Amino acid sequence: MTARFPAAAAVVRWFDTWAGDPAAEGGDPRRVDAVRVLPFAVMHLGCLLVVPAGWSPAALALAAGLYVLRMFAITAFYHRYFSHRTFRCSRAAQFAFALAGATAVQRGPLWWAAHHRVHHRVADRPGDRHSPRLDGFWWAHMGWITSRAHFRTDVREVPDLARYPELRFLDRFDMLVPAALAASLLGLGAWLGAAFPASGASGLQFLAWGFFVSTVVLFHGTCTINSLAHRMGSRRFETPDDSRNSLLLALVTLGEGWHNNHHRYPGSAAQGFRPREIDPTLWGLRLLERVGLVSDLHPVPARLREEAAR
């Protein structure tokens, strides 16, 4: 029935993202899947809740803390681990950090990694799904995510990940974890406000700042690597794409801004190739390595470090 009623099919995919392929339903596959991306629009509108909710130091600290923690889950695990396999970890740690990444509301780990692997294979050439060179800034930044063409998870790109049922579950039902986070923050804020009235906290406040604002800023911060990091900054290496290095973007994304370095050698757990190229994601991974949660961090080859030092 949903094949005859595309809007109904899109609603079903709010809850089960593997329920069919919207690009196969006819029409322009690059068209915005308006019903499916309605929650995406609601996420942005939810930021307006800060007006009735107000603010408190606890709410701002929560928003900042969740931004950093979830950005790390995206950069270290969705990107450097799931997409590029630049280090090793146990199955339990893999699931735990996939769960953390899922709270960022950037789809599931298989979807994220599958698209990113395609990007590296044809970066800024025909077939790249988010190239500012080919399709402009806004398409590269967020337009491609809203299109029907790029909704489906292509498990053929991630056979190494698709063999884990727990990762497939997170990918298929990618709204569950964000919904649980939102509900938890609402309850936490309500409890804190009741237990410690001087904090000025409330459930609505924690929902507004900790979930909506933090998540939207996190989303756009992550997407600057698709859009701005192919237009803004310097080029150390002559790669076939337009990737660039930017300190500003590295600060926003915990080290992902050294994008030209990354495109020159995506197999390294480090993206800063020089000592002064700050890479907080790498610092976090080294800390996890010390406590035994990850291992075998792939280094930058000596020849590339020498080339970068010139």
- How confident is the model over 6-43, as pLDDT tens digits? 778 888 888 889 887 777 776 677 888 888 889 999 99
Task: Report the C-alpha gap between 165 and 161 in whole angstroms.
Answer: 9
Nearest to 202 by CA among 49, 69, 68: 49
Distance of CA 282 to the CA centre of its chain: 17
What is the residue type of 154? Answer: D
- Give the separation between CA 143 and CA 146, rounded to whole angstroms: 5
Condensed to tens digits (0 to 9), the pLDDT of residues 82-116 reads: 999 999 999 999 999 999 999 999 999 999 999 99
Q: What pLDDT digit, counting tens, does each position of 146-161 carry?
A: 998 899 999 999 999 9
Mean pLDDT across 222-239: 96
**Whose structure tokens read 């307006």?**
48
CB count within 10 Å of CB 194 equals: 12
Check residue 1 and give its pLDDT: 42
pTM metric for this prediction: 0.95
* Per-residue pLDDT tens over the stretch 56-88: 999 999 999 999 999 999 999 999 999 999 999
Which residue's entry shows tokens 């970066």?
Answer: 123
CA dihedral 163, 166, 172, 174 (to 10 degrees): -140
Per-chain mean pLDDT for the chain: 94
